[in-house]
Amino acid sequence: MNAADLGLQEEGAREALPNKGAAGRRVGVPSTALFTDQYELTMVRAALRAGTADRRSVFEVFTRRLPEGRRYGVVAGTGRVLDAVENFRFDPDVLGFLREQGIVDEPTLQWLAAYRFSGDIWGYPEGEVYFPGSPILRVEGSFAECVLLETVILSILNHDSAIAAAASRMSAAAGGRRLIEMGARRTHELAAVASARAAYVGGFDSTSDLAAGFRYGIPTVGTSAHAFTLLHDTERDAFQAQVNTLGGGTTLLVDTYDVTEAVRTAVEVAGKDLGAVRIDSGDLLLVAHRVRQQLDELGAKDTKIVVTSDLDEYAIASLAAAPVDAYGVGTQLVTGSGHPTCSMVYKLVARARSADPEAPLTPVAKKSLGGKASVGGRKWAARRVDAEGVAEAEVVGTGPVPPELADRGLLVELVKGGDVVAHEPLQAARARHMAARAGLPMSAMQLSRGEAVLPTEYV
């Protein structure tokens, strides 16, 4: 283990593990059927009794607004949604629980026992950016089979997209410097794995979370904490033990006691080829400059500097002029940097008037005086660009797609007839996000508060 373990290797020198489907390893996933709200099941029960459960329906996921100050959103969690749909099965234990609690009746239990989503899902591909009103996901099938997926889809997309948006802002602020996700200890253990995945989509290079590395093939990193230094009688003893085990290319933590003395000792122990030093406290801008000067004077000109300590996109931006090579981010990343959800909703936008598969779809929409109105109709979306190829508007419509936007469509087929058709390596979503972000106006990268960088036009 050396400086590369903190993500300091040259770009492209280390790749994620080959993906099997959307994951680095195929990991058994339990039934996702109870990742839902009870009213989804009571609606199915009532619809079955009323004879309306089989009406062809279209649900869409969208958000009415971006979190305050955000200029674009990032679609993340799509791969996890596809896994959840595949594993949405009511096994005997789940059915037994529903029966014991009296949540649904026997006819509904029989229907649930045979449940398999058989419809179609279209959506923005993972890593794409979105704006208010963007039809991020479109789920089509019978009312009953579609409505059951509402909660699990929203819980995944709202969480992962929030983390990816924060990660994207931090990635933009980092200006090409390496980013390490280190938030596992700041959130729920399962949310930590999802957060690491979303952060990777948003532009982070590695994670400290081994479960995320195992499951999704994300490069993992890590060397030592302050406890390791405190364990030993002297700081020199701690550094020597680490170097003896991991080699001179390792990263040494230098702010347990006196930073200046620690840097001197680190170079004496590891030599001028010391991989990196990590600074976890103090005035990071000032300390980084002093450490860089000291390392250079000691001949360790190639030793990298990693900084951690409650960083967010604003702190990262403030360190742009500092001689920093990598940032480690935890709390602010896994909490969405102040916006832990995207306020996405899942709304019925069209339905047939009968169970006849050939019955035409009728647009439906919620009317509200409280800002919760929705726009009816099965939608498409395209992104209009200017003469320079820079995005200038998100165009959403329900009728024919204008010829000039025919090749700018954003939705792709994810599930066809109940079968997932769009599993992809996580690296593909990450690369897609970098390309999508690069196609936005430059003002999208500003950290100052502002409105969505693209207007949403309905046609």
Per-position pLDDT tens, the chain of length 459: 455 555 454 333 233 333 343 446 655 557 899 999 999 999 999 999 999 999 999 999 999 999 998 999 999 999 999 999 999 999 999 999 999 999 999 999 999 999 999 999 999 999 999 999 999 999 999 999 999 999 999 999 999 999 999 999 999 999 999 999 999 999 999 999 999 999 999 999 999 999 999 999 999 999 999 999 999 999 999 999 999 999 999 999 999 999 999 999 999 999 999 999 999 999 999 999 999 999 999 999 999 999 999 999 999 999 999 999 999 999 999 999 999 999 999 999 999 999 998 899 999 998 876 677 789 999 999 999 999 999 999 999 998 999 999 999 999 999 999 999 999 999 999 999 999 999 999 999 999 988 999 999 999
Task: Write the pLDDT tens digit of every residue in 276-320.
Answer: 999 999 999 999 999 999 999 999 999 999 999 999 999 999 999
| pLDDT of amino acid 3 | 54
How high does pLDDT run on average in the chain?
93
Residue 102 DSSP label: T
Angle at 76 (CA atoms; ends 184, 382), nearest 5 degrees: 165
Answer yes or no: are the C-beta atoms of 230 and 205 closer than 8 Å.
no
Helix (H/G/I), strand (E/B), else coil: 202: helix
Which amino acid, residue 358? E
Tell me the C-alpha distance between 132 and 134, whole Å: 6
* Residue 391 near residue 455 (C-beta atoms within 8 A): no
8 A C-beta contact, residue 337 and residue 54? no
Crossing angle for the helix pair 150-174 and 426-438, nearest 10 degrees? 60
Q: How many Å apart are CA 307 and CA 176, to the nearest integer?
A: 15
Beta bridge partners of 398: none
Query: What are φ and ψ of residue 277, in 5° steps?
Result: -120, 150
Identify which of 199, 191, 133, 193 has the alpha carbon closest to the alpha carbon of residue 165.
199
